[in-house]
Structure 1
Amino acid sequence: MSKFIKSSLLAVATALSMGAHAAPTASYDFYSNGGGWVDSLTNSLNFTANGIGLTITPVSTNSDAKVAYRWDGIGLSAGFLEPNELNSSLLHTPGDALLLSFNQAVSLNSVAFSLWEGNSLGALDKATITTGGQTYALSASLNDGGFFVDTFGLTGVIPAGQFFVIQAQGDLSSFRLAGLNVTAAVPEASTTAMFVLGLAGVAAVVRRRKV
C-alpha cells in the first residue's frame, strides 16, 4: 500500500473519529453571578465557558448605548429614561438589541431571561433572535414558565451560527438576559470524511498526471 493511500485512509479515520467525541457545551449564568446591585455600564462584556468565548455588545441607533450588567442579568442602557424605555432593560425601542458574538459557530440550546412577564400577565414580554439573516420569535410554548428566570428551550429551533441578535418586541416588553446554554457546532463526521475523500481523489488525479 502506497504512502499516499495510507495517509488518505488515516485522514478519513481521523475525520470519522470526530463524531465519537461529544462537542463541548458551555453555560453562561448572568443572574446573581457577578453583577452588582447597581448597573455597570460598558461597551462590551466578555465571557469564556468550556473554551467557548462570548462577547456581548449593544446594538442601538444611540451612539451612547452601553451594555448594562447587574445582579439580575444583562440589559442595554441607551440613556436615562428615554421615550418608551426604562433605563438599562431590553425594551421595544426600535433598533436597540444585544449582539452575542461567539469565537466559533454554536447551537443555542437555551436562552434565559429575568423580569420576564410572559404567562400570568398575558404575555407582556416578547423577544426575537436573529442569526444568518433570519429572525425567530420566541413562542410561549418554548418557555419553561420559571418563577424568577424564564428559560426558552431552543434545541433544533434556531440554526447554528456565530452571531445572534436578541431584541425585545412589543410595547410593554422589559426584561434582561439571564443566561445561555450553547454547544459548539461540529461538522458531521460523514461530511468531513467525504470532504477528505474528495481531496484525496483530486490529489490522486494530480499524481497520475505527473507520472
Structure 2
Amino acid sequence: MPRAGLVPAVVTEAGAALADEVGFTRLSMGLVAERLGVKTPSLYKHVDGQADLAHRIAVLASDELGDAMGDAIQGRAGSEALAAAAQAMRTYVKEHPGRYAAINSARPGGPDDPFVAASRRALSALTAVLRGYGLPPEEEIHALRMLRSVLHGFVTLEVATGFRYDTDVDDSFAWLIDFIDHGLHATASATAADAPPPAAPHGAGPTP
C-alpha cells in the first residue's frame, strides 16, 4: 500500500529541496526515499523514475521562477521592470540552484508536456519587460534570447563562485542591467529612426 499522504507533488517537492541542497547531478531516488522515510521502490508508485522526477522538478521550478519574475514586474515598466525581473531571477537561482539546473536539463516531450506551459510562463515576464521598450516585433525574439543568455550566464557563474576579482558582484550586476537597458533603448531608437515617415493623406499637398 502507498504511504498515506505520499503523492507525486510531495515526492517532487522533496526531490526539488534535495536538488538545491546536494546539487541536481547528485540527486537520486534513494536520497529522496530516505528524505521521505520510505523504501526506494515505494517512490515508483508516484513517479516513473529519476528522469520523470527530474522533469517534474523542472516544471515546478519553471512555474516558481515565472511567478517570481511576474510578481516582481507588477506595476513596473522599462528600466524598473528590467531590473526587477533580473533581480528576481538572480535571487531565485541563488536560492534554488538545483531546481534551476533541472530547468536547463529538461527537454519538452511534446505540446501537451506541462513543461512547455511552465516554460512559457517563465518567459512571459521577460517578454513583457521587453515590450516596454517599444521594440519592433521582429526584434523581440533576438532581444529575448540576448536577455536570457546574459542573465543565465551571470547568475550561473555567480552560483558557481566563478567571479574571482574583489569588485563587488552586486555592483557588476547593476552595471550589467544598466548596459542592457541602454542597449535596448538604443535599439528601439535606431529602429524608429530608420522607419519610413508615415504617408501623407490622399490629396494632401505640402504645408505652406
Same fold (TM over 0.5): no
Q: What range is the shorter-chain TM-score in?
A: under 0.3
Structure 1 or 2: more helix by fraction: 2
Higher relative contact order (CA 8 A, sep 6+): 1
Structure 1 or 2: more strand by fraction: 1
